[in-house]
Amino acid sequence: MRRRSSFACSLAVATATLSSCGYVGDPLPPALNIPERVTDLRMHQVADRLVVEFTVPSRTTEGLLLRLGEIELRAGPWEGSAFDEQSWYASAARIGTSCDRPGPCRVDIPTGPWTDREVFCRVRVSHRKGRWSDWSDFSIVRVVAPLGAPRGLRAEAAPEGVLLTWDDPDPRPGKSYRLYRKAERQTDLELVGTSPEARWLDRTAEFGRQYEYAVEAVLPAGASEARSERTPPVSIVLQDRFPPAAPSGLLAVAGPTSIELAWDPNQETDLAGYFVWRAPPGGDFERISGLLAMPAFTDVSVERGKRYRYAVSAADRLGNESLRSPEMEAELPGEPTRPELRIATPANEPGKFDASP
């Protein structure tokens, strides 16, 4: 009885152990640890250097987190008639990087003796255990003589926004410019426009706000581009000191007891209204109205037989007033003659009157 009891006890313990550990499946094959390939390699020239940018992958081809080993970045020219990858690889320089973790990576390479030559670049990464990713696609740039940066950037307020102008010591054919802006509460300059000439108007700038601007020159360089250094930024607070346009289309028409004025409405978005000006015969203009919301006015304070001159000005919400419109003249006729009183006479037919003259 004791032996059976001991065996039963051992069986129970073994059963409990198996149930607590769960089922152990088939062994998994070892991970290959091959990094994903770089897919966003790009290169462009800035002044006298090539700027290479790419993203170091964070996972392997099996979706596992990558334990980064090395980054192999190679760059060099090729001038043969038919591109040969192995020959290029043997002659291309291996470029060191300071990137040591997954994420964005930037490397600057001096252009050195590569001016007027086509430079090829590609990259791959490895796992700590030594397995390499596939190579990225090539990025290709034809290196040009370094572009000189624009000089003397100026920002001034204009009725339509901020007008930027600058000088260019390096006016090469095919050149254009990129404009960068930083508004209040922004931390970095952002691209806001391009221009084919050394001036640009920022029509999106708002009155009352402060802005910083910078500009760089850009030149096509093969499949990529060459850029100059950016100018030092300039600042401006855009103030509205610009009056509306003078109203147009003024008409002045004499009525029975007043002179009626009407004109074309202004199109400014910050328009507040209009003022009416009048000059008596031989006198100077004086403002005869308050701020009018509508482009019309009735002048009842006129004397008959006098010829008046009229003009209209426009004002915005900040009180900037335009020049006066071209003037118009109008005169209220003298004392009107009383109409002739005609008395009706009896007609031939009873009960009817002849009202004819």
The residue range of the domain holding 306 is: 251-331
Running along the chain, 357 residues long, what does each successive block of 10 average in pLDDT? Answer: 47 47 61 94 96 97 95 92 90 95 96 92 94 96 94 94 94 93 94 97 94 96 91 95 95 95 94 97 95 97 95 94 96 69 48 42
How many helices (H) and strands (E) the chain has is answered by 2, 24
pLDDT at residue 269 in the model: 86
Which CATH number is 268's domain given?
2.60.40.10
Q: How many domains does the chain have?
A: 3
Give the angle 57-59-61 at the CA atoms, nearest 5°: 105
With CA atoms as reference, report the closest residue to 58 among 108, 104, 98, 121.
104
Which two tokens mark 147? Answer: 């572009």
Domain match, 271 and 230 both: no
pLDDT at residue 27 in the model: 65
Domain match, 124 and 207 both: no
pLDDT at residue 1 in the model: 44
Cα gap 150→166, rounded to integer Å: 7
Domain match, 190 and 132 both: no
Domain annotation covers residue 221: yes
Other CB atoms within 10 A of residue 348 CB: 6
Domain match, 102 and 190 both: no
